[in-house]
Amino acid sequence: MLKGHGSDFLGNLLEIDCKKEFLSNVFEEINAEYIKDCSKPESFWFKGFEDKSTHSFLYRPLVEKFRKPPLFVRAHSGPTSFFDGSYNSEVQYWTSKGFFGAEVNYGGSSGFGKAYRERLNYKWGIVDSYDCKALALELIKSNQVDSEKVVIFGNSAGGLTALNCLLYGSIFTAAICKYPVIDLKDMHYNTHRFEKDYLNSLVGNYAKNNDDYINRSPINYINKIKKPILLFHGKKDIVISYKQTLKIQEILIQNNKYSEVIFFDNEGHGFRNIENKEIVRQKSQEFLKNALNI
């Protein structure tokens, strides 16, 4: 079995029989008419952390609704995963609303060789955020997007990247995060066994690098963030406890206009319920309407 993706079709599960030279679709293409007209990914390289060549995918707006389009930047989870340019309904939704989109394969992302992957070693929370800001600045300088309407999206590990982008720098106007990593110390002690030693290479040995775990954790600096933030978290999350987000809820809403924190009783780490996904979409649209004044 093999799963295939494309920029203009949803993932298809394929069955290949090499002996019989037989190929068949296990699932037929879904929603073909809906995704026929979509924004295609454009591979774009820019200078990231330490002026190193860094990869991204750009998505042009499908409609012209603004004098200059607002920009949304996506930071992938992982954090050593990657964007492959395959079809993503969230990306297409915002480009259909006139937004310019960007997916950042920041230093440390997989798929670009060993040296590229090792850029994030001991520098998670630094390289990733820097590269997201560098791309946004590049698009602003080239006059392609509105410099006053720049939002960053991040799920899980991407949430740490996104919140640190707001904490250090003034490029981003707002952030939307789902089940974000906000406390590296808590992650060190409580993450599931599959990632038990993950932070050793991403941040460093906990005993020797305790200050780095503190300094790169947004939970310790929420008071300094004055930009609008929208957070979603499931109460069944066993990877990143919703109680971490609960700790910052009151401070966040009190200090940041338009900010909101929404919890789902029946979701874990990664949302599955269709109704909840619709709530996320509606709340995100309302949030950006206010935060970006559009």
Q: Residue 4: pLDDT above 80?
A: no
Q: Are 160 and 178 in contact (CB under 8 A)?
A: no
2 shares its domain with 41: no
Q: Report residue 34 as tokens.
A: 């809906």
94 shares its domain with 43: yes
42 shares its domain with 31: no
Q: Report residue 179 as tokens.
A: 């089940």
114 shares its domain with 225: yes
With left for phi above 0 and alpha for psi between -120 and 50, is residue 78 left, alpha or beta? left
| pLDDT tens digits for range 171-225 | 999 999 999 999 999 999 887 665 667 899 999 999 999 999 999 999 999 999 9
| pLDDT tens digits for range 56-82 | 999 999 999 999 999 999 999 999 999
100 shares its domain with 25: no
Number of Cβ within 10 Å of residue 62's Cβ equals: 16
For the ranges 18-27, 69-78, 140-149, which has the lowest average pLDDT? 18-27
Beta bridge partners of 292: none
Range of the domain at 27: 1-35
21 shares its domain with 102: no
- Which tops the pLDDT comparison, 11 or 149? 149
What is the reported pLDDT for 192?
Answer: 64
50 shares its domain with 27: no
CATH number at residue 54: 3.40.50.1820
18 shares its domain with 41: no
What is the reported pLDDT for 18?
Answer: 54
**Structure letter (DSSP) for residue 268:** B
189 shares its domain with 64: yes
Q: Are 287 and 174 in contact (CB under 8 A)?
A: yes
Q: What percent of the chain has pLDDT over 70?
A: 86
Query: Number of structural domains, the chain?
Result: 2
Q: Residue 23: pLDDT above 90?
A: no
What is the reported pLDDT for 29?
Answer: 47
Q: Residue 278: pLDDT above 60?
A: yes
139 shares its domain with 258: yes
What is the reported pLDDT for 17?
Answer: 54
Q: What is the mean pLDDT of residues 89-93?
A: 96
Q: Report residue 184 as tokens.
A: 């590296």
143 shares its domain with 167: yes
169 shares its domain with 201: yes
